[in-house]
């Protein structure tokens, strides 16, 4: 008898103490192996992707769950844990059928905060 395998999503743990920024820069540094140029490239890509995904969620509500899932993974990768949590909340709201408008608004706000922080970091 073969045991049944279950898929488990792995993610680095967010910090135990709250951080003042929408981005966990220590996490980002670990994920990019301390390469400052790579950090800048990843942040720029995330900012662009996040804006596109939010626009797509509004335009294609039937796809919002899958798009939120994609955004959640990207956000975790760069240390934008508030965006990842908000995307997970939207996934739950879509799955349960409760609170979707509020969850989408919270996700938009988290993305705006992250993108603002990224823009400030990328200014020459």
| pTM score | 0.83
Give me the tens of pLDDT residue by residue for the chain, a chain 124 residues long: 555 656 656 555 555 555 578 999 999 999 999 999 999 999 999 999 999 999 999 999 999 999 999 999 999 999 999 999 999 999 999 999 999 999 999 999 999 999 999 999 999 8
**What gap in Å lies between CA 79 and CA 59, rounded to an integer?**
27
What are the structural domains, with CATH classification, of the chain? 25-122 (1.20.120)
Note the helical H segments in 1-124.
25-31, 36-59, 64-78, 81-96, 100-122
**What φ, ψ does residue 51 adopt, rounded to 5°?**
-65, -45
**What gap in Å lies between CA 82 and CA 109, rounded to an integer?**
10
Asked if residues 28 and 78 have their Cβ atoms less than 8 Å apart, the reply is yes
Closest CA to 90 of 114, 60, 59, 66: 66
């Amino acid at each position: 008898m073969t045991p049944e395998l279950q898929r488990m999503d792995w993610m680095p743990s967010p910090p135990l103490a709250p951080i003042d920024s929408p981005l966990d820069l220590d996490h980002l540094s670990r994920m990019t192996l301390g390469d400052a140029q790579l950090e800048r490239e990843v942040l720029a890509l995330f900012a662009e992707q996040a804006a596109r995904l939010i626009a797509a969620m509004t335009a294609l509500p039937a796809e919002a769950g899958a798009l939120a899932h994609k955004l959640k993974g990207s956000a975790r990768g760069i240390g934008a844990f508030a965006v990842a949590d908000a995307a997970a909340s939207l996934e739950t709201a879509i799955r349960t059928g409760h609170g979707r408008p509020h969850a989408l608004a919270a996700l938009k706000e988290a993305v705006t905060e992250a993108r603002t922080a990224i823009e400030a970091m990328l200014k020459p």
